[in-house]
Amino acid sequence: MLGEARSIYFSTQLIHPPINLEGSKDSIRAIYHELSKVKDCEYDNISFDGFPTSPPEFTRKIGTTTSRCRFYPDRILIEENWADITSDSFAQKIREILDRGFRLLNLKLLIIQICSVRCLFTPRYSSDSRVFLAEKACGLQNKISPYFKRPSQMFGMRLLFPPLKGMTHSFDIRIESFNQDTRQIFVETTGTFPLVQPITPTNVDVALVNMSTAYGFCTNEIRNFLNQFDLAEGGIQ
C-alpha cells in the first residue's frame, strides 16, 4: 500500500467577470495590508512591476516554499508552491482573500473555479516509480526499450474525467515518475468547477468545498487507483 500523500502544491483560480484593474491599485494595497494582520495569510512583498500589463502580486518566500497571490482583470490566482501548509490552511487563505476581493475590489460573483493539487506518493513494494507505472500499472514489461533502443527516463499517464451525471466539475490528472526522486510518484489533479450557482459574498464556503473536492480526488481516488498495483511478489498487498 502506498504511503500517505505528501502535498507539495495548492492553487486555485477564482474567475469572475472582467473588471478594470487600473483603477484598483489602492484596493489591492488595502487587501495586502489587511492580510498582513491575519495569521498564516500574510505576505512579505507586494509588486506592481509592469502594471497594468503584468498582474499585481503578493509573494512570500520561506526556504523552498513560495506563496503567491496574483490579480488579473478576470481572476484571482492563489498558490502555494512546495507547500508547507495543510489543505485546511490553504482553504482558510482562500476565504480571507476572497472575502476581501468581494468587499474591496467590488467583485459581484465568481463564475468558474479551477483547483489544482500536486502530491507525492511512495510505493511500498517498488523502489522505482518508472517501473511501478510502466510495468505494474500499465503492463509494459519489455515493451518499451526494444522499440526506442533506450530506457525511459520518465514514465507517466494522463487521464481526463468528464462530469458525472448531475455534476458540472471535471478532473484532469497527471500521474508520473518524479524526476527529483524516482522512488516517488508525482500526481497532479486539476478540477474545473463551472458554477451553475455563482459564488457570491453570501456563499464563499462553496469555493472551499471545491478545493476540498479536488484535494480528496487526489489523495483518495487516485491513491486507491494506484494502490491496486502496489503488490509484493506473489500479489500480496
Which pLDDT tens digit goes with each residue over 39-64? Answer: 999 999 999 999 988 999 999 999 99
Q: What is the mean pLDDT of residues 151-172?
A: 95
Q: How confident is the model at residue 225 (pLDDT cuts 50, 70, 90)?
A: very high
Residue 237 has pLDDT above 60, yes or no: no
* C-alpha cell belonging to residue 53: 500589463
Q: Is the dihedral of CA 212, 213, 217, 220 positive or negative?
A: positive
User: Cell 508552491, residue?
Assistant: 81
Q: How confident is the model at residue 236 (pLDDT cuts 50, 70, 90)?
A: low
d(CA 214, CA 169): 10
pLDDT of residue 11: 98
pLDDT of residue 42: 94
The pairing of strands 185-199 and 45-47 is: unpaired
Tens of pLDDT along 206-219?
A: 999 999 999 999 99
Which of 17-31, 99-113, 178-192, 221-235 is least confident?
221-235
Cα–Cα nearest to 170, from 198, 191, 194: 191
pLDDT of residue 1: 79
Per DSSP, the residues of 91-117 read HHHHHHHHHHHHHHS----EEEEEEEE
d(CA 113, CA 111): 7
Exposed, middle or buried: residue 137 (CB in 10 Å: 0-12, 13-18, 19+)? buried
Instruction: Break the chain into its structural domains and give their ranges.
Output: 6-227
pLDDT of residue 232: 85
Is residue 193 a contact partner of residue 215, using CB atoms and an 8 Å limit? no
d(CA 27, CA 51): 14
Max Cα-Cα span within the chain: 66
**227: three-class secondary structure by DSSP:** helix
